[in-house]
Amino acid sequence: MGVEPVSVNSLVMKALATHPELRYYEAQIDVARGGKTKAGEIKNPELMVGLGNWHYRDLSNGALGDGPTWAVQLTQTFEWPGRISLRKAIAQKDIELAQLGFTQFRAALAGRVRTVSWKLLAAQEQTRAAEEVSKRFQNLAAVLLQRDPAGAAPRLEARIIQANALTLGAEATQARNDLAAARFELNQLLGERADHPLELRMENIVLNPAPPIEQLLAEARHKNFTLRARFLDVEQQGYHVALAKNERWPYITLQPYMQNQTNPISASRETQIGIGVAIPLPVWNRNKGAIEAAEARQVQAGVMLTAQMRQLERDVASQASHYRIYVEQLTQLAPDTLDNFRKAAAEADEHYRLGALPLSTYTELQRQYLSSVKAVLAAQMGAVDARLQLEQLTGGSLDK
Both 129 and 243 in one domain: the answer is no
The pLDDT of residue 306 is 95
Domain co-membership, 14 together with 157: yes
Residues 58 and 90 both lie in one domain: no
Task: Over range 380-395, report the average pLDDT.
Answer: 92
- Find out whether 239 and 86 touch, Cβ atoms under 8 Å: yes
Number of domains in the chain: 3
Number of separate helices (H) and strands (E) present in the chain: 9, 4
What are φ and ψ of residue 97, in 5° steps? -65, -40
CATH code: domain of residue 171: 1.20.1600.10
Residue where one domain finishes, among candidates 285, 304, 330: 285
What is the residue type of 228?
R
Q: Are residues 188 and 236 in the same domain?
A: no
Based on the fold, state whether residues 64 and 21 are members of the same structural domain: no
- Do 320 and 222 share a structural domain? yes
pLDDT, tens only, 171-223: 888 888 988 999 999 998 888 888 888 888 887 777 888 889 999 999 999 99
User: For residue 67, what is the DSSP state?
Assistant: E
| 173 lies in the same domain as 125 | yes
Bridging pattern class, strands 251-263 and 64-79: antiparallel
**pTM value?**
0.80
Determine contact, residues 278/252, Cβ cutoff 8 Å: yes
Q: How far lies 260's CA from each of 56, 72, 272, 391, in Å?
A: 14, 9, 6, 75
User: Considering the chain, what is the average pLDDT of its residues?
Assistant: 87
**Stretch (H or E) spanning 261:** strand 251-263
Q: Are residues 107 and 63 in the same domain?
A: no
CATH number at residue 58: 2.20.200
Same domain, 26 and 170: yes
360 and 308 inside one domain: yes
CA angle (140 as vertex; 139, 142 as ends), nearest 5:
65
The DSSP element (H or E) to which 244 belongs, if any, is helix 225-246
Looking at the structure, do residues 52 and 150 belong to the same domain, yes or no? no
Residue closest to 255 by CA, chosen among 72, 56, 113 = 72
Say what the pLDDT of residue 321 is.
94
Among the candidates 138, 173, 203, a domain finishes at 203
Judge if 25 and 174 occupy the same domain. yes
55: domain range? Answer: 43-79+250-285
pLDDT at 222: 93
